[in-house]
Copies of this chain bind each other. A is one copy, B any other.
């Protein structure tokens, strides 16, 4: 649903003279063109990026959870969004949904192998957040002080 490709290449590969400090990073260009929708990064980023997926994955990384357990664990998520989130994760093969024909119904969710492998990255992201949260907050404050009239949030 995210198809907006217009042209294969726009002639952007100039300036390879990276005398910059980002030495450790190899050429981050897995598919020949960073911004190209079809390189597969967009798909994953969309999933990682949406508001709740990451938190669901995080919670499931600690073991299988039932619907209500997830909702209670993830503070602030509405039932609607939990349903949607968990459905999308299921569709992507990151989560397995199991329905037990009990009364009342009982459903639990657990990560697939693929989903579990994403946990590492998600947690790394969380770690990064923790490490840099202060710096970011500081930077924001400084920016806001310096640009009081700005409306960038």
Q: Which residues of A contact B (CB under 8 A)?
A: 1, 4-18, 20-31, 33-37, 39-41, 43-46, 48-51, 54-55, 58-59, 61-65, 69, 72-77, 84, 87-88, 90-94, 110-111, 113-114, 116-133, 135-140, 142-144, 150, 152-153
CA distance in complex: A17, B63 (Å): 7
Q: Is B119 touching A25 in the complex (CB atoms < 8 A)?
A: yes
Closest to A47 in B: B136
Give 18 CB contacts A-B under 8 Å.
A8-B24, A15-B65, A18-B121, A21-B121, A22-B123, A22-B124, A24-B127, A27-B62, A28-B123, A30-B127, A34-B58, A35-B77, A40-B129, A40-B133, A41-B130, A44-B125, A94-B136, A121-B128
